[in-house]
Amino acid sequence: MYSFVICIYLMAVKLVSLFNKKVRLMVRGHAQVFRILREHIEPDAQYIWFHAASLGEFEQGRPLMERIRRDHPEYKILLTFFSPSGYEVRKNYAGADVICYLPFDTPRNVRRFLKLAHPCMAFFIKYEFWQNYLKGLQRRGVPTYSVSSIFRKNQVFFRWYGGRYYKVLTRFTHLFVQNEVSRELLATLGIHNVTVVGDTRFDRVIEIFEQAKQLPLVEAFKQGRPVLVAGSSWQPDEDIFIPYFNAHPEMKLIIAPHVIGESHLTEIIGKLRRPCVRYTQATPETAAAADCLIVDCFGLLSSIYRYGEMAYVGGGFGVGIHNVLEAAVYGVPVLFGPNNQRFQEARQLLATGGSFEVTDAASFGSRMDRFLTDAAYLSDCGKRSGEYVHGRAGASDKVLQAVGL
């Protein structure tokens, strides 16, 4: 039944690809997988396979890949993605030797993929539970690990009808989970090959923190004034923090919107009532004269957070907040919208008093008022935020030590 459903899904994807550019990229990428493996996999090399659904999971696997590459050059890295948003962005990632899509989980694809890739070890990041691949790896005797996984009682594995589904979890050699709740839930299914190690994303954001870029334009912009960095913002987020910024000349604002299309940038500029400049058009002189800096390019946000006294992370008025750890690692208080329940790190940051949920312009304004008028409070909140992130490092080392690397 499972394989039949996968085949139906595959046909649906091909149909949708006729009308959707992103899905079309995925279909074209899948068509190239076996050619890529034939041409680039070395028959006598030992490959450790990492599979990530998309960019978020890639970032969780990245500390493991880079430590293996640094400490164990005898191994090569095979990296696969399911989503085009992961593959298209990271297909040239230098930390892996071979990068491709993961073919759909049909028995025939699994046999072909595992024969060509011949991995000696496999890591599936977070929520990746592909039944036929896991069965194939187990039959071949390949040690297979689930890393940074997190389980909740409303998942299908733990429902009354979940008996046929939870068996896929028994295919893993070991599961490295983020929290004790996950370990306890798995124990109710009789699965005990589980270790709580935390989330490898903490290791990644600390690496980013240690390698943060110096940005002379942002330094020129800051001018010793308190700065709010609003990262990955959407229109509902901007409708909250832009009016506050317009009314508070004592602060400056950096906006790094999630979508940097021209129409969205024009919309943002139309809402601003104070001098602004786009990053790609700025000089040190025009940046210094502006009160708002709009980051209209990718790749800078994780370094820009270091220049803020406060941070706002977008997405909380939509499908869910973006990466709060990228901001919190710099020891600044973080604000975000109400759709944060599914994000363990956000809930824990709220509990520490280093981050705050805002539900509307009034709750945002009251919190910002205190940040701008109470330096001791601002400093204490930021300290709590930074300590939360830095105190949770080390998951990657625990995983690699446990698997013998």
pTM of the model: 0.82
pLDDT value of residue 8: 66
Query: Within this chain, do residues 301 and 352 fall inside the same structural domain, yes or no?
Result: yes
Query: Within this chain, do residues 141 and 159 fall inside the same structural domain, yes or no?
Result: yes
pLDDT value of residue 75: 96
| Neighbour count for residue 54 (Cβ, 10 Å) | 18
What's the CATH number where 279 sits? Answer: 3.40.50.2000
Assigned token pair, 293: 């800096």
How far apart, in whole angstroms, are the C-alpha atoms of residue 369 and residue 24?
A: 48
Q: Are 133 and 110 in contact (CB under 8 A)?
A: yes
Query: Within this chain, do residues 29 and 135 fall inside the same structural domain, yes or no?
Result: yes
pLDDT digits (tens, 9 = 90+) for 177-198: 999 999 999 999 999 999 999 9
List the domain range (segments joined by +) for residue 27. 2-207+394-402
Query: Within this chain, do residues 164 and 249 fall inside the same structural domain, yes or no?
Result: no
Query: Within this chain, do residues 241 and 143 fall inside the same structural domain, yes or no?
Result: no
Query: Within this chain, do residues 15 and 131 fall inside the same structural domain, yes or no?
Result: yes
- CA 16 to chain CA centroid, nearest Å: 26
Query: Within this chain, do residues 56 and 194 fall inside the same structural domain, yes or no?
Result: yes
pLDDT value of residue 48: 97
pLDDT value of residue 7: 64
CA distances from 200 to 195, 206, 389 (A): 13, 10, 11
Give the chain's domain count. Answer: 2
Q: Over its length of 405 residues, how does the chain's per-residue pLDDT go in tens digits?
A: 666 666 665 666 566 556 666 667 767 777 788 999 999 999 999 999 999 988 888 989 999 999 999 999 999 999 999 888 788 888 899 999 999 999 988 889 999 999 999 999 999 998 878 889 999 999 999 999 999 999 988 888 888 776 678 888 999 999 999 999 999 999 999 999 999 999 999 999 999 899 888 999 999 999 999 999 999 999 999 999 999 999 999 999 999 999 888 999 999 999 999 999 999 999 999 999 999 999 998 888 989 999 999 999 999 999 899 999 999 999 999 999 999 988 889 999 999 999 999 999 999 999 999 999 999 999 999 999 999 999 999 999 999 999 998
CA distances from 191 to 139, 172, 177 (A): 19, 10, 12
Torsion sign across C-alpha atoms 307, 308, 311, 314? negative
Query: Within this chain, do residues 146 and 277 fall inside the same structural domain, yes or no?
Result: no
How far apart, in whole angstroms, are the C-alpha atoms of residue 356 and residue 253?
A: 18
Query: Within this chain, do residues 338 and 271 fall inside the same structural domain, yes or no?
Result: yes
How far apart, in whole angstroms, are the C-alpha atoms of residue 309 and residue 307?
A: 7
| Neighbour count for residue 20 (Cβ, 10 Å) | 13
Query: Within this chain, do residues 382 and 398 fall inside the same structural domain, yes or no?
Result: no
Query: Within this chain, do residues 40 and 151 fall inside the same structural domain, yes or no?
Result: yes
pLDDT digits (tens, 9 = 90+) for 268-309: 999 999 999 999 999 999 999 999 999 998 888 989 999 999
User: Whose structure tokens read 């036929």?
Assistant: 132
What's the CATH number where 40 sits? Answer: 3.40.50.11720
Query: Within this chain, do residues 297 and 313 fall inside the same structural domain, yes or no?
Result: yes
